[in-house]
Chains A and B, each alone.
Chain A
């Protein structure tokens, strides 16, 4: 009972603040509601006993990426709602795309119910006191079973970072 109350609380918060994030005019307000969405998602991770994901969501997204977002918004003064005028013409395309995606999701859910033994399976959750320690399990799968993909992803990120530095450097020199 408590679990589902917590889940619906965080899920509702995430959805409401995601909607608010899109509708706010002020970029900083949008950023704040994005932070709330991310925190609510972190709360759902915690409710699922994925502690490590919970805290890395907070450290990475809220503590790192969102702080950078706000930095850029303050620095570039995006809080002036000027560029929104240009995007208003794309309203109908956006509506169409949203409808298409929504219908796809509906079709998937509908057919998943029809086919026996396939589609959405809800396995019984393991009892909370018998879970393996989350951090250790994650480390084992990242650095054991999936070492190569992990390293490739790291190299990819490093390349992106070096590329960003090089591009930024060129502009200041010119």
Chain B
């Protein structure tokens, strides 16, 4: 028995290590994405951000998490005990499992070279809303049930949209395997965002919907439904939902990055004179470290400036590792070099993706539910289908007549712009009538606009 366990560990230790690292590090990253979000939100809304705990409030999230851990664990008396317990666990499990097939760099991936690749990520993260729906139902609370219903409707409408957007990328790649998708973008000398721009933008919208962020956070609208499907959750259970949500943002962003933004490739990997971009990780980290040193002297307390020095030191150490790895892009050290630099570029793009979704959150007002479903069914799904057809036509042209694959950009963009204008025109007429009907029905107005 012990022998077979040892043999198992020996055969799979890389995968086990990656999985362990994901389980340990992703919650920490999620918590710090939340801190960035708080700071960025404060900046956009011109108010002070958390500044007291640690220098610049860098440690704020740790006492927050501790508070949630030590909070009293409440289960409403009329809730369905088992499902109430089970739903957040399901959400968290789905979010972490779907990370298994995400490649963070060419070598950091748990399920390596599986045939279904990105489809695994998409499929398993489709389980996460189930946790929200069941949690909302188990709470036995009207607001929660409305939140759960909204979440279901949202999932059904936008899963299709996201699926079609991904299909256009899969068609261009001709495979589902993560590594092959990225390699094809290297040999094509173009990220798929340039070949299928419409597909990328549709995926961007659908991914924000799937992670329940504003302007599409309808299942938990604070002003209408208290906190919607998770209104009854507090303490550790709420923390699980929170972590699942942020983990899912990372998953969604890395799927988008892998398929449309070139994965772990450096920008312009084939252009000779841009090779200096390889120094970007070192320079960026060194600059962050230098800024920390600069700010360390201005901290109000001695401990805070010490902490700042420690952060600066960490930045310099990582920068030094990158600088030391830089000249070894040759065979014996190739793995280390590619792994480090690939991971940097992938995380950089994923961060940019998440940053853009935050940006949208702070800039756009929330959609009304009927507007939101109409956007999905009347505009985005037709556009996504047109995009898939356009990409297929372009691929057929390039394989039959040898026309350059860049014709895909032209076909999809022109067709999508034309179709969008038509659809918006029809939709305006339809939505005016629908809004009038909604306003005329006083029961609906009282029911949904109570908050």
A7-33 vs B, CB cutoff 8 Å, 1 = contact: the mask equals: 000000000000000000010110010
Specify which chain B residues have a CB less than 8 angstroms from the CB of A63 in the assembled complex: 123, 126-127, 130, 155, 159
**From B130, B149, B159, contact of A35 by CB (8 A):** B130
Q: How far in angstroms is the closest Cβ of chain B from A111?
A: 38
Q: Does B80 interact with chain A (Cβ within 8 Å)?
A: yes
11 residue pairs A–B, Cβ–Cβ below 8 Å: A51-B116, A54-B116, A59-B122, A62-B130, A63-B126, A64-B156, A67-B152, A71-B149, A74-B145, A133-B115, A134-B116
Contact (Cβ within 8 A) A70 B133: yes
Using A63-B126, A63-B127 as known contacts, list a sample of 17 further A-B pairs with CB atoms less than 8 Å apart, ordered by residue number in A. A28-B80, A51-B115, A52-B116, A58-B123, A58-B126, A58-B127, A62-B127, A63-B123, A64-B159, A66-B130, A67-B133, A68-B156, A70-B130, A71-B149, A71-B156, A74-B133, A133-B115
Closest residue of chain A to B136, judged by CB?
A74
Interface: A154 (CB within 8 A): no
Q: Which of A39-55 contact B (CB under 8 A)?
A: 51-52, 54-55
Task: Give chain B nearest CB distance to A23 CB in angstroms.
Answer: 15
Interface residues on A, range: 20 to 34
Q: Of all chain B residues, which has the CB nearest A31?
A: B134
Interface membership of A135, Cβ < 8 A = yes
Residues in chain A near residue B122, CB distance under 8 A: 59
Return B150 CB to nearest CB of chain A, in Å.
10
Task: Kindly state whether residue A93 has any CB partner on chain B within 8 Å.
Answer: no
- B 66-92 binary contact with A (CB < 8 Å = 1; else 0): 000000000000001001001000000
Is residue A168 contacting chain B, with contact meaning CB distance below 8 A? no
> What B residues does A29 contact at CB under 8 A?
83
Residues of A within 8 A of B (CB): 26, 28-29, 32, 35, 51-52, 54-56, 58-59, 62-64, 66-68, 70-71, 74-75, 133-135
CB closest chain-B residue, reference A55: B123
Count of chain B residues with Cβ under 8 Å from any Cβ of A? 27
Which residue in B116, B152, B155, B156 is a CB contact (below 8 Å) of A55?
B116
Taking CB as reference atom, which chain A residue is nearest B133?
A70
Nearest CB to that of A137 among chain B residues? B115
Give A52's nearest chain B residue, CB to CB.
Answer: B116
Q: Which residue of A lies closest to B119 (CB)?
A: A55
**What's the nearest-Cβ distance from chain A to residue B175, in Å?**
8
A residues less than 8 Å from B86 (CB atoms): 32
| Separation of A52 and B114 alpha carbons in the complex (Å) | 10
Residue of B nearest to A71 (CB): B152
Which residues in B have their C-beta under 8 angstroms from that of A58?
Answer: 123-124, 126-127
The reply on B148 being an interface residue by CB < 8 A is yes
B137 and A70 form a contact (CB under 8 A)? yes
Give the chain A neighbours of B145 by CB distance below 8 A.
74
In this assembly, does B341 line the interface, its C-beta being within 8 Å of a C-beta of chain A? no
By a CB distance below 8 angstroms, the chain A residues around B126 are: 58-59, 62-64
> Judging by beta carbons under 8 Å apart, are B176 and A75 in contact?
no
Which of chain B's residues have a CB closer than 8 A to the CB of A75? 149
Q: Which residues of B contact A56 (CB under 8 A)?
A: 123
